[in-house]
Amino acid sequence: MVLQTLDAMGPQHGYGIARRIEQMSEDILRLNEGTVYAALMRLQHQRWISSSWGTSESNRKAKFYAITATGKRQLAREVEAWDQLAGLVARLRGAD
Amino acid sequence: MLTRFRTIASRARFMIERRRLDKDMRQEIDAHIESLAEGYRRQGMSADEAYLAARRQFGNIALLRQDIREMNRIPWIEHTIQDVRYAVRLLWRAKAFTTAAVSTLALGIAGTTVMFALIQGVLLRPLPVQEQDRLILSWREAPTAGSAFYPFGDIEFEAVARESQLLESAAGVTRNGVWRAVVSDGGTSSYASVGLITGGFFEVLGAQALLGRRFTLGDDREGAEPVAVISHGYWRRHFGGVPDVIGRRITVNEQPSVIVGVMPSDLDYPRGVEIWRTTRSIPTDGAFGIAAQREVNLIARLRPGATVEQASSELAALDQRLATSAPTDSLRRGFNIVVHPFAEVVIGDVRRTMIALFVAVALVLLIASANVANLLLMRGESRRGELALRAALGAGRGRIAGQVFAESLVLSVIAGIAGFLLAWVALPVLITIVPDGLPRIESIRIDATVAVFFVAVIFVTALLAGIAPGLFSMRGDLVSPLRGSSAAIAGTSTRGRRLLVVGQVALAVMVLAAAGLLIRSVLNLQAIDLGLAAERLVLVDLHLPSAAYAERERRAQFLDQVFTQLEAVPGISAVTPVNVAPFTDRGWDVPRVTAEGQSNDQAASNPSLNLESIHPNYFSTIEAPIVRGRPFSAADRQGTVEVAIVSEDVASRLWPGQNPIGKRLKMGRVEGSGRWLEVVGVAATTRYRTVTTPRPTLYLPAAQFQMTATMLIVRSTASLELLMSVAREGIRAIDPNVMVLSAAPFADYLDRPLGRPRFNAFLIGVFGIAALLLSTLGLYAVMAAHVRQRDREIAVRLALGASGANVRGLVLMEAGRLAGLGALLGVAGAIAGTRFLRGLLFEVQPMDPVMIGGAAVLLIAAAALAAYAPMRRAARGDLVSVLRSQ
């Protein structure tokens, strides 16, 4: 989800990502926003995203996360897997 | 696996930056919450409400940070770092303990590393040749006497090489080792060691020249330009390592020669060689004619897959065939071919010595480790309360053991660094004081293998010193120390310490027994009766130009002049020329001798003889007694009856129970061409040729045989310098072309064969003393702790009327038990182990009861000494103060 967000929106800071996910999920998913940071750290360990300090639109110093090339590949793999799963679920439901 | 590795790598990266990351994260979280709160404020909340709502939406900050921190670490590395830090702090606080432990370990590690560097350089590092396992050396030996060699002729080895199926290539190399020659380089003359080889030698070895070229078969043809190849060491020493040495003209024993190549360092065969020359370069008009060229051993390269045993039997068969097809040499019969791997011959007999010394020093290191283990155990006891507290607070036993182990690791690493520096300094020093005869000295250095070995030693040491304390800290009752019960403290680790001390004593007994045996050998060697009066004998080197003195008469005439000239000098009482320097183990051999009346079969069991061709004044000069008959006289010359003197052991072997005077013998077989020699005297046995064993010797008058006169033996009371100048001037007056380059007392020659045993004994003696000291220290530590632990019991005993003597006896008994058990084990170990020393011992048995028993007694005495102070403390025990301290 985070990868998807970063891929779609370009480099973002943690707050932005949280907002985006909140907005996209239309309140289906309500998580503690803090978990975003745990996810970001995990992704950094995998080297799927990179981080750098920058200035946010509200003129605050903020850390921006961007998707890396490996991250993009991983995203493509996961999207594909997800689509397959979604397609399967859709077919199974259609067969009902 | 790869992802796992990647995770560890990135964790390590994040761990290093962890502080910064943590700060970043806090900032980010703060900013995030601030942004959320701002949103809520805009929706109309108060600042406080907005902040709380933001916090609620964000979730548990502390938990999150904890999670993220966990993500960024590798627990065991952090634990290790913590343990090591803690250990360093503790050790820093206990400086005396640390110094003692580190210095003993450092000495042990340095010694082990140095010995390993020697072993690596001499035994393990490959020789600078191709595939050394395929190289063999071969010669003939008589089965009756191991010392009698018979060489291959240069023609023979060519035939052998041609006909052999198993040899890829073959060449000849002098069987006599290097010979000293006078080398002139423009104006200056000096001695150099020359080794003779045939043209294919370097090709067989697969050794390339460092500079210039190696010999080729063409250099070995009749009429080829005489060439020389020099060793790396000689190039550096004599020519300062300049590259334009190639093409230089030198003379070797007056024969011109061109230097065509420099061989790489560590190519040292024949051992000590400085200049290689071809066998053909030796003039055949010298004292031994063509024989000088022909005395070579066979060096050959086996075809891939062929074994030494196969080659040995093939060569034996070929030799049989050649002998029957061309019965040129009746002497040769009765000699069998022997084949040895080249590397074995190059390394020679030092393998055993080096391994023995290495084992000894490793044992010392083991004893030092045991000491450190002991000290750590003791500290473990005094820290029991602390450890128990840590356990109670939730530290795993593994963590506690790890922490104890970290201490021994830190100690070993510090000791290792100190030891390595010590080894670095000690190795070059040791190499310079190693007496000559250690092969391959040029290849001894601290290289990667030595470094790897050294690191391994550190970890093994850490393990040895740390494993027992670590285990004992894991075992046993961690809780009762907290209750303050001292009885529990005495628990399990006491047994561990006592075991360690028993082990130490046993190892020390073994090292000391070995040291005792080697030292005893050296003492025996020094006490040897040489059979001649070595004091006040000086050897003056003489160099007669070979062309001018080719004729025997010319040499005899010159020597006569020298005698008259020198014996007139006050302080010089006698002068006699000799062919070979004393105690060098080298000389002339008579492989086969036949007494009159013996058949060939009977003669086959005669000893092979050492041959000394001497002047009439030989025996009187060296003061070796003639026990029967007469010495040679001037009347024993060409044209008169050919005479001989034999040593006592020859007489008793050849003519047991009879008077040998007037008996006859001949060199070679009964039908051989040798003439009968009449025995006119029997000389006492001397050790002129070999110090360790008297050699059965045949003496011939030089006038009837041969005199190369490479040195003069002078009996003199004058100082060496005076003698040198007198000899120089006197001889210059007779013939300015004869050179006198050096002079040395007999004692110097005696130092050479004794040098190595002495050096070995010195080293192992040092190890022995170290072992003794270390184990005494160990014993003392254990006894002191023993008394401390039992102080309450002892105090009660004293209070109830036990005498001081009773208590002292109690302590002494404990020390005696430990040392006695250790000594017993040590004696068993020594009996099993010292057999390995057999080849190194002289006139003392490996299981010599005096030496092994002596080592055990020494250790028990040391134990008594170690128990002395604790014993006195125990006897002074005072119940009140002891009870008060509880």
What is the overall mean pLDDT for chain B? Answer: 83
Amino acid at the residue B665: L
Distance from CA of B85 to the nearest CA of A (A): 28
Q: What is the DSSP letter of B707?
A: -
Taking the C-alpha atoms of residue B655 and residue B663, their distance in angstroms, rounded to an integer, is: 9
Q: Could you tell me how many residues make up chain B?
A: 886
**pLDDT (0 to 100) of residue B614:** 93
Task: Name the token pair of B96.
Answer: 């005396």
Judged against a pLDDT cut of 90, whether residue B228 lies above it is answered with yes
**pLDDT (0 to 100) of residue B822:** 92
Chain B: residue nearest A40 by CA? B68
Task: Specify the 3-state DSSP secondary structure of B575.
Answer: strand
Chain A: residue nearest B15 by CA? A45
CB-CB under 8 Å, A32 with B59: yes
Mean per-residue pLDDT for B59-74? 75
CB-CB under 8 Å, A60 with B32: no
Residue indicated by tokens 């690493």? B413
Residue-wise pLDDT for B719-753, tens only, equals 888 888 888 888 888 888 888 888 888 888 888 88
CB-CB under 8 Å, B57 with A41: no
Could you tell me which residue, B191 or B472, shows the higher pLDDT? B191
Taking the C-alpha atoms of residue B277 and residue B202, their distance in angstroms, rounded to an integer, is: 12
Taking the C-alpha atoms of residue B760 and residue B353, their distance in angstroms, rounded to an integer, is: 8
**pLDDT (0 to 100) of residue B36:** 80
Under 8 Å between Cβ of B447 and B771: no
Look up the ipTM and state it.
0.76
Range with top average pLDDT, A5-9, A56-60, B197-201, B867-871: B197-201
CB atoms within 10 A of CB B572: 21
Q: Which of B27, B29, B30, B64 to mutate to test the interface with A (most CBs of A within 10 A)?
A: B64
CB-CB under 8 Å, A45 with B29: no
A 65-94 near B (Cβ less than 8 A): none
Taking the C-alpha atoms of residue B596 and residue B576, their distance in angstroms, rounded to an integer, is: 31
> What is the count of structural domains for chain A?
1
Task: Name the token pair of A2.
Answer: 């985070």
- A16 in contact with chain B, both atoms CB, cutoff 8 A: no
Taking the C-alpha atoms of residue A46 and residue B10, their distance in angstroms, rounded to an integer, is: 8
CB-CB under 8 Å, B64 with A37: yes
Taking the C-alpha atoms of residue B692 and residue B690, their distance in angstroms, rounded to an integer, is: 6
Under 8 Å between Cβ of B644 and B682: no
Cβ-nearest to A38 among B27, B57, B64 = B64
Residue-wise pLDDT for B416-429, tens only, equals 999 999 999 988 88
Confidence of residue B478 (pLDDT cuts 50, 70, 90): low
Distance from CA of B34 to the nearest CA of A (A): 10
Taking the C-alpha atoms of residue B183 and residue B192, their distance in angstroms, rounded to an integer, is: 6
Closest CA to B489 of B86, B795, B788, B866: B788
Q: Of all helices (H) and strands (E), which one includes residue B315?
A: helix B308-325
Judged against a pLDDT cut of 90, whether residue B104 lies above it is answered with no
Confidence of residue B487 (pLDDT cuts 50, 70, 90): very low
CB-CB under 8 Å, A33 with B64: no
Residues in B closer than 8 angstroms to A13, CB to CB, are 28, 31
B528 Rama sector, left if φ>0, alpha if ψ -120 to 50, beta otherwise: beta
CATH number of the domain enclosing A50 = 1.10.10.10
- pLDDT over 90, % of chain A: 0
**pLDDT (0 to 100) of residue B418:** 93
Q: Which of B28, B30, B61, B71 to mutate to test the interface with A (most CBs of A within 10 A)?
A: B28
Could you tell me which residue, B506 or B22, shows the higher pLDDT? B506
Task: Specify the 3-state DSSP secondary structure of B578.
Answer: strand
CB-CB under 8 Å, A15 with B35: yes
Could you tell me which residue, B331 or B198, shows the higher pLDDT? B198
CB-CB under 8 Å, B10 with A33: no
Containing structural domain, residue A18: 2-95
Q: Which of A41, A49, A52, A68 to mutate to test the interface with B (most CBs of B within 10 A)?
A: A41
Residues in B closer than 8 angstroms to A37, CB to CB, are 25, 28-29, 32, 64, 68
Task: Specify the 3-state DSSP secondary structure of B214.
Answer: coil
Chain B: residue nearest A18 by CA? B32
Distance from CA of B10 to the nearest CA of A (A): 6
Cβ-nearest to A33 among B6, B32, B68 = B32
CB-CB under 8 Å, B28 with A14: yes
CB atoms within 10 A of CB B570: 9
Q: Of all helices (H) and strands (E), which one includes residue B744?
A: strand B743-745
Cβ-nearest to A63 among B28, B59, B64 = B28
- A37 in contact with chain B, both atoms CB, cutoff 8 A: yes
Mean per-residue pLDDT for B820-840? 88
Lowest mean pLDDT among B177-186, B236-245, B383-392, B653-662: B383-392
Residues in B closer than 8 angstroms to A58, CB to CB, are 35
Judged against a pLDDT cut of 60, whether residue B262 lies above it is answered with yes
Lowest mean pLDDT among B200-209, B669-678, B681-690, B854-863: B669-678
Q: Of all helices (H) and strands (E), which one includes residue B188?
A: strand B188-197
Mean per-residue pLDDT for B334-348? 83
CB-CB under 8 Å, A58 with B71: no
Taking the C-alpha atoms of residue B113 and residue B449, their distance in angstroms, rounded to an integer, is: 11
Mean per-residue pLDDT for A13-41? 74
CB neighbour list of residue B458: distance below 8 Å, 6 or more residues apart: B109, B412, B413, B415, B416
Lowest mean pLDDT among B204-208, B436-440, B771-775: B436-440
Lowest mean pLDDT among B215-219, B378-382, B465-469, B813-817: B378-382
Q: What angle do CA B173, B175, B180 make, to 5 degrees?
A: 90
CB-CB under 8 Å, A41 with B71: yes
Under 8 Å between Cβ of B468 and B152: no
In this prediction the pTM is 0.77
Residue B189's DSSP bridge partners are B184
Taking the C-alpha atoms of residue B420 and residue B492, their distance in angstroms, rounded to an integer, is: 35
- A15 in contact with chain B, both atoms CB, cutoff 8 A: yes
Closest CA to B459 of B417, B500, B416, B507: B416
Confidence of residue B64 (pLDDT cuts 50, 70, 90): confident
Residue-wise pLDDT for B611-663, tens only, equals 999 999 999 999 999 999 999 998 998 889 999 999 999 999 999 999 999 99
Chain B: residue nearest A52 by CA? B24
- A45 in contact with chain B, both atoms CB, cutoff 8 A: yes
Assign 3-class secondary structure to B293-312.
HHCEEEEEEECCCCCHHHHH
Task: Specify the 3-state DSSP secondary structure of B114.
Answer: helix
Assign 3-class secondary structure to chain A.
CHHHHHHHHCCEEHHHHHHHHHHHHCCCCCCCCCHHHHHHHHHHHCCCEEEEEEECCCCCEEEEEEECHHHHHHHHHHHHHHHHHHHHHHHHHHHC
Confidence of residue B82 (pLDDT cuts 50, 70, 90): confident
CB-defined contacts A:B, below 8 A: 64
Residues in B closer than 8 angstroms to A41, CB to CB, are 25, 68, 71-72
Taking the C-alpha atoms of residue B331 and residue B871, their distance in angstroms, rounded to an integer, is: 75
What is the overall mean pLDDT for chain A? Answer: 77
- A29 in contact with chain B, both atoms CB, cutoff 8 A: no
Q: What angle do CA B125, B129, B135 make, to 5 degrees?
A: 100
**pLDDT (0 to 100) of residue B488:** 45
Chain B: residue nearest A54 by CA? B28
Taking the C-alpha atoms of residue B238 and residue B234, their distance in angstroms, rounded to an integer, is: 5
- pLDDT over 90, % of chain B: 22
CB-CB under 8 Å, B60 with A63: no
Helix-strand-coil percent breakdown of chain B, rounded to 5?
Answer: 55, 15, 30
Residue indicated by tokens 């008169």? B640
Amino acid at the residue B479: V
Under 8 Å between Cβ of B372 and B409: no
